[in-house]
Chains A and B, each alone.
Chain A
Amino acid sequence: MELCSEEAMKYVWEGAIPLQIHLHESDVTTLPPPPPALVLGPRIGYLPLLVPIIKPYFSGALPPGEDTVWFDYKGLPLKWYVPLGVLFDLLCAEPERPWNLTVHFRGYPGEVLTPCEGEETVKWSYINSLKEAAYVINGNSKSIMNMPQADQFDLWQSLIKGDMDGYHRISSRLKLGPVGEDCILNRASSMQSRQATDEPEIVGSNRPSRLPVRLYVRNVDQDLEYLEDVQTLDNWDSVSYINRAIEFHKEGGNYMTLKHAMRNILREIFSEEASTNANELDGTEEADSAYRDLETTSMKNDLVEESTFGRQGPNKGTLVRIQGIEPDLDIPFAWVVNNLKNPDYFLHICVYVGTSSKAKAK
């Protein structure tokens, strides 16, 4: 299990964002307006799942009529199907704690947000993401389509309650990982998969591994050295949403790194990154030597610590954020996927693209 870290997964599952949720002034019918609700929102959860907590809190101040709940951050309607942690990483260049959000119970902006009728809609959005991820990994969605109703319910409840162990008990039956050619568990699941399949799947065995990734790219047109100066996002057209599958393979006998993965999707941006790294050979060599000893237990712990709490590396025109941390780009991509993915099996990556300090110096 050298590519899987129980400790890292636990950090991801327990990740939470302190939210300060204000009721929009157009929905206030009492004087004085109610104080904001202080809620701890799970990173891997979804905004509509907070409504059962928020609505009772504000119910005394709401106008009569049917509720259609939605949220905005500084005027930007928030996409409810994007995990909460991803929204935070994407919209707060400099983390804002607590994160001030506004909740509305009327005036749903149907031209910008897809309809959401509550927990059931979020659940099916999650199941669809799971089907899509299964298709990317296995070439079909059978393991999700054939999931018993009870398992589906338990999986969803585990996600709602933040029950990681309960989740893994069921998700392990979906045969969706972990990723990594050298991982013993991966081989075991592969053998199990082969036994379970009736047809020989000639095509499947030749197919390269694919990993489900969703990128949210912001072009901020300024130096990333001062994140507090990054302007607030005012519409979703400034975000490039990239739903892509990354082919997973070894690079010349070495592990595929996060840098390689990013280069596969955003070639121009991260090619510049590579050329920049070429000018800092000492740093590169040091990083390589560090990760070459990945099998060592002590180095494994150090790796976990670095990834979990983020390394403050120098900004080079781009900033990559996954689960709220900025991982070193030389980290093995299989480790990133196995430990930092969301419960929908997608790795959600936020990328800030700014003008590099060198370009500014010119």
Chain B
Amino acid sequence: MNRVYIYIVPWFIPQPFLDPCPDRLLHVLSASSDENLFFPIVVIDWRHRFVDGGGFSSRRISFLLPRNLLPQGPLRLLPFVRLVLAINPGCLEELMLSNQPWLFEGLLGFRSMYQWDGTLSPSEFDISVADLCERWREVGTSLPQWVWLPDRALGALSCNVAAGYLAIENIYHQNASEEGSFEESISRDEEPFDEATLVPSNKNDMHIYDYHILYSFTFRVPVLYFRGYQSDGCPLKLVDIEKDLPAYSLKLLRESKWAFITQEDHPYLHRPWYTLHPCGTGDWMKFLLCSDAPNKIPPLHGYLSAWLSVIGQVVGLRIPIGLFKSV
């Protein structure tokens, strides 16, 4: 048995990021004869790309390095997510690939160490909405712009903060046969669907998606509502939507108890939309934004951009890379 430091890999990290780990780790471990050798395996930060050659370009991350190559002095690791286990290499591979819920449960056990619970207030939500729209505009993506639609039901009687939703609509997604291709339609501020803008004979296999971001006053986090439909307006069933999702997203949605799609009434449109349940959002957003300084509340204007970088992957909404800078 070798003692291995295993750090929690968040559930939302796409599977391909994990693939290189076991082989390299097994290789290094099998070559070692020192019983006291430790290999710190740290969290793979979503903001860093995998660099070929077995290393990550981050001062905080060390990965699969022989002991004599470790930098001088103690590593500034993340003590609050460290679990020390006696485990053999075979089990480690299985563990790393299984995305077991208890790995994330371990994080919950440290919740009391935080002052910030991963949530944001209505006014902070409004600020991060403005921040996301600005980033999206600056990046200059070919996708439509996000548009804020305030709640109009009460008219002038209501000017509550965070009452309304942020919408990006008419996102085209071609069927699985043409995987990965995205196209754009003209963004519309109004709800009515103008079918005249489409050419049915050319696009009858297109799936079109609308995405809305709302603020949950219960969980104090953003919530994604979305729907899919065909070019003739027929709504897509959940099985059809799942076919449009990335492979790792499907695996995640089926195995994780923190992310699941349900059909609920849109709070402002009063008809069924699909949504990702927000009950676990506060916990993983806390982890995402607090990993650098656990006892400090992070700047929250970038909350929504960071949140979207995760949620967008889950539902297959492409996020421009530039959005992640300085989050």
Residues on the A chain within 8 Å of B268, using CB = 241
Contact for B270 among A202, A236, A243, CB less than 8 A: A236
Within 8 A of A (CB), among B139-180: 151, 153-160
A244 contacts which of B156, B157, B217, B235 (Cβ < 8 Å)?
Answer: B217
Against B, the Cβ 8 Å flags (1 = close, 0 = not) of A101-144 are 00000000011111100000000000000011001100101000
A239–B155 Cα distance when bound, in Å, is 12
Shortest C-beta distance, A346 to chain B (Å), equals 10
Q: Does A238 contact B (CB under 8 A)?
A: yes
Task: Produce 1/0 per residue, B236-262, CB < 8 A to A.
Answer: 000000000000000000000000000
Which residues from B are CB-within-8-Å of A132? 218-219
A219 touches B154 (CB 8 A): yes
Least Cβ distance of B264 to chain A in Å? 6
Contact (A79, B235) CB under 8 Å given A139-B117, A200-B112, A267-B160: no
A268 beta carbon closer than 8 Å to chain B: yes
Q: Give complex CA distance A236, B272 in Å.
A: 12
Shortest beta-carbon distance, A302 to chain B, in Å? 34
The answer to the question of A290 belonging to the interface, with a C-beta cut-off of 8 Å to chain B, is no
Q: Among A136, A203, A217, A243, which residue has its beta carbon within 8 angstroms of that of B154?
A: A217
Structural contact, A114 and B151, CB atoms closer than 8 A: no
Alpha-carbon gap, A160 to B324, bound state (A): 50
Select A79's contact among B156, B218, B265, beta carbons within 8 Å. B265
Q: Are A239 and B270 also in contact (CB < 8 A) when A111-B235, A136-B218 are?
A: yes
Q: Is the CB of A241 within 8 A of B272?
A: no
Residues of A within 8 A of B157 (CB): 219, 266, 268-269, 353
Do B279 and A141 have beta carbons less than 8 Å apart? yes
Quote the shortest CB–CB distance from A349 to chain B (angstroms).
Answer: 14
A160 to B286, CA, bound (A): 39
- A245 an interface residue at 8 Å Cβ cutoff? yes
Bound-complex Cα distance A357 to B187 (A): 44
Mark out the residues of chain A between 228 and 285 whose CB falls within 8 Å of any chain B CB in the assembled complex.
236-241, 243-245, 265-269
Q: For the complex, is B263 an interface residue (Cβ under 8 Å from A)? A: yes
Known contacts A135-B279, A199-B112, A203-B114; A238 and B153 CB within 8 A of each other: yes
| B322 at the A interface (CB under 8 A) | no
B59 on the interface (CB 8 Å rule)?
no
Instruction: Give the shortest distance, in Å, between B225 (CB) and chain A (any CB).
Output: 13
Chain B residues positioned under 8 Å from A141 (CB to CB): 279
Q: Which A residues are CB-close (under 8 A) to B114?
A: 203
CB of B192 within 8 Å of the partner chain = no
The B113-157 residues at the A interface (CB cut-off 8 A) are 114-115, 117, 151, 153-157
Q: Please, how many angstroms separate the alpha-carbon atoms of A112 and B263 in the complex?
A: 12
On chain B, the number of residues with a Cβ less than 8 Å from chain A's Cβ atoms is: 29
* Cβ of B109 under 8 Å from chain A: yes
Contact partners of B271 in chain A: CB under 8 A: 111-112, 236
List residues of chain B with CB within 8 A of the CB of A245.
217-218
A201 at the binding interface (Cβ < 8 Å): yes
B20 contacts the other chain (Cβ, under 8 Å)? no
By a CB distance below 8 angstroms, the chain A residues around B101 are: none
The answer to the question of B111 belonging to the interface, with a C-beta cut-off of 8 Å to chain A, is: yes
Within 8 A of A (CB), among B67-87: none
Report yes or no: A219 in contact with B153, Cβ–Cβ below 8 A.
Answer: yes
Q: Judging by beta carbons under 8 Å apart, are A115 and B263 in contact?
A: yes
A243 to chain B, nearest CB (A): 6
B109 touches A243 (CB 8 A): no
- Please judge, given known A-B contacts A111-B271, A236-B270, A239-B270, whether A202 and B263 are in contact too, CB under 8 Å: no
Residues of B within 8 A of A136 (CB): 218
Partner of A240, one of B158, B235, B279: B158
Interface check B299, CB cutoff 8 A: no
Contact A239 B153 (CB under 8 A): yes
Residue A212 lies at the interface, judged by CB distance under 8 Å to chain B: yes
Q: A139-B117, A268-B158 are in contact. Are A241 and B263 (CB under 8 A)?
A: no
Q: Is B267 an interface residue (CB 8 A)?
A: yes
What is the minimal beta-carbon distance from A207 to any residue of chain B, in angstroms? 8
Assembly CA distance A79 to B265 (angstroms):
9
Which residues of chain B are near A217, meaning CB under 8 Å?
153-154
With A and B bound together, what is the CA distance between A2 and B272 in angstroms? 42
* Residues of A close to B272: CB separation below 8 A: 110-115
Q: How many Å from the CB of A92 to the closest CB on chain B?
A: 19
Query: Which residues of chain A are near B219, meaning CB under 8 Å?
Result: 132, 135
Chain A residues within an 8 Å CB radius of B159: 268
Subset of 29 A-B contacts with CB under 8 Å: A79-B265, A111-B235, A111-B271, A111-B272, A115-B263, A115-B272, A131-B279, A132-B218, A132-B219, A136-B218, A199-B111, A202-B115, A203-B114, A203-B117, A212-B218, A219-B155, A219-B157, A237-B153, A238-B153, A239-B153, A241-B270, A243-B267, A244-B217, A245-B217, A266-B154, A268-B158, A268-B159, A269-B157, A353-B154
- Known: A111-B235, A217-B154, A243-B218; 13 extra A-B contacts, CB below 8 A, are A113-B272, A199-B112, A202-B112, A203-B111, A203-B112, A219-B154, A219-B155, A239-B153, A241-B267, A241-B270, A244-B218, A268-B157, A353-B154
Binding site for A on B (CB under 8 A): 109, 111-112, 114-115, 117, 151, 153-160, 217-219, 235, 263-265, 267-272, 279
* A contacts, CB < 8 Å to B: 79, 81, 110-115, 131-132, 135-136, 139, 141, 199-203, 212, 217, 219, 236-241, 243-245, 265-269, 353
Considering the complex of A and B, which 8 residue pairs feature the smallest CB-CB distances, nearest first? A240-B153, A236-B270, A199-B112, A114-B272, A244-B217, A240-B154, A132-B218, A268-B157
